[in-house]
Chains A and B, each alone.
Chain A
Amino acid sequence: MFNLVFFAALRERLGCSQLQWPVRAACVNDLISELQAQGEPWQSALARPDLLCARNQTMCSRHTDIKEGDEIAFFPPVTGG
């Protein structure tokens, strides 16, 4: 399984902070498509072009390969400091 985590405005929009998701997708992009296939609010919330992602707590691109046991995070641009 993938451990999916969501933060901030995205977490609120999805009404979901964490999700166990079966491993089918080979890269982040495929995973986003699978999640979006669930319909709204996933479809539009994950369509934002500025959506950021991290694999095992390191920022990654949408082309990054993912595998069993990975923690994949999705979140909006960061606003700390």
Chain B
Amino acid sequence: MQTVIRVQEQPFNPAEEYSLRPPAPECGALVTFIGTVRELAGEHLHCLTLEHYPGMTEKALQTITADAHQRWKLTDITVIHRIGRLEVNDPIVLVSVGSAHRADAFAACEFIMDFLKTQAPFWKKETTAQSDHWVEAKDSDQQALRRW
């Protein structure tokens, strides 16, 4: 089983990630989630700034991916999360999970995202032409955890 965790300022390219590190030969299903920067409803998002807690972030992601490996039979997990300044459409996070068959890969990918959103110490700040403000956590993210 392969696990890759990266927290980086640089952009990432999903196709490149796949070709540089193809899934293990035992993998028959690879589910990849990419979270991107969304435009705001009423005004233009100038940029999104992601802060994190160096050290704890990597530790939290390692715990989450280890839990996923315990729960499902997985061949590969890749988690890449960007920090710093991002703009609309930029990829923020990539979670790619491989398993022999698709059910485990779909479930584990959702599991990892649900825990990342509530346990990994990242914070988003939105900047518009008028102001900037920290994004508030959503109750729905906490509720999503209950299914696990």
Contact = CB atoms under 8 A, between A and B. Distances in A.
A75 B56 CA distance: 12
Interface string B53-66: 10110011000000
B119 interface: yes
Contacts, number: 73
A68 B97 CA distance: 40
B51 A7 contact: yes
Contacts of B125: 8
Interface residues of B, number: 27
Nearest to A12: B134
Taking residues whose C-beta sits less than 8 angstroms from the other chain, chain A's interface range is: 10 to 19
A76 B134 contact: yes
Interface of A: 5, 7-9, 12, 50, 54, 57-59, 73, 75-81
